[in-house]
Structure 1
Amino acid sequence: MKKLFSILVVALLSTTLFAQATWKVDPMHAKLTFTVTHLGIADVAGLFKTFDVTAVANQPNFSDAVFELSVDVASINTEVQMRDDHLKSADFFEVTKYPKMTFKSTAVKKVSENKYTLTGNLTLHGVTKPVTMDLWYRGTIENPQSKATTSGFQLTGVLKRSDFNIGPKFPAPMISDEVQIKADGEFIKQ
Structure 2
Amino acid sequence: MATWKNDPDHSHLGFVVRHLMITDINGRFADVDIDLEVANDDLSDAVFSMTAKAASIDTHVHARDEHLRSADFFDVTQHQDLTFQSSAVHLGAERAGTITGILEMRGVSREVTFAITASDRITNPFNNKETQSFSITGEVNRSDFGIGPNIPAAIVSDRVRVAANFEVSPA
Query: Could you tell me the TM-score, scaled by structure 1's length?
Result: 0.87
**Number of aligned pairs?**
171
Aligned equivalent of 2:129, options 126, 144, 148: 148
- Please tell me the residue identity of whatever aligns with 1:81: H
Deviation readout 1:111-134 (Å, 9 max, x if unpaired): 442012100011110101101011
The equivalent residue for 1:58 is 39
**Which amino acid is the alignment partner of residue 146 of structure 2?**
N
Is contact 1:61–1:137 with CA below 8 Å preserved after alignment?
Answer: no
Partner amino acid for 1:176?
S
Q: Which amino acid aligns with 1:163?
A: D
2:107 is equivalent to residue 126 of structure 1: yes
Gaps of 5+ in 2: none
- Aligned pair partner of 2:75 in 94, 116, 132: 94
Secondary structure of 1:84 counterpart: helix
Report the Cα offset of residue 110 of structure 1.
2.8
Q: Secondary structure at the match of 2:121?
A: strand
**Larger RCO (CA within 8 A; separation ≥ 6):** 2
Taking the aligned partners of 1:155 and 1:134, their CA distance within structure 2 comes to 6
Which structure 1 segments of 5+ residues have no match? 1-19
Tell me how far 1:35 sits from its aligned partner: 0.3
Greater percentage in helix: 1
1:117 aligns with 2:103: no
Q: For the residues of structure 2 that align with 1:150 and 1:144, how far apart are their CA atoms?
A: 10
| RMSD of equivalent CA atoms | 0.9
Q: What is the rounded CA distance, in whole Å, between the counterparts of 2:138 and 2:166 in structure 1?
A: 15
- Between structure 1 and structure 2, the one with the greater Rg is 1
Q: For 1:86-107, what per-residue CA distance to the aligned partner results, in whole angstroms no more than 9, with x for missing partners?
A: 0000000000000011110011
The letter of the residue matching 2:132 is S
Aligned counterparts of 2:58 and 2:91: Cα–Cα separation in 1: 33
- Who is 1:11 aligned against? none
**How far has the Cα of 1:59 moved from its partner?**
1.2
Report if aligned partners of 1:111, 1:117 keep a CA contact under 8 Å in 2. no
Q: Find the aligned partners of 1:21 and 1:105 in 2 and give their Cα distance.
A: 16
Q: Secondary structure of the equivalent of 1:63?
A: coil
Q: TM-score, normalised by structure 2?
A: 0.97
* Structure 2 CA distance for aligned equivalents of residues 171 and 112 of structure 1: 42
**Partner secondary structure for residue 139 of structure 1:** coil
Identity of aligned residues (%): 43
**In the alignment, residue 149 of structure 1 is paired with which amino acid?**
E
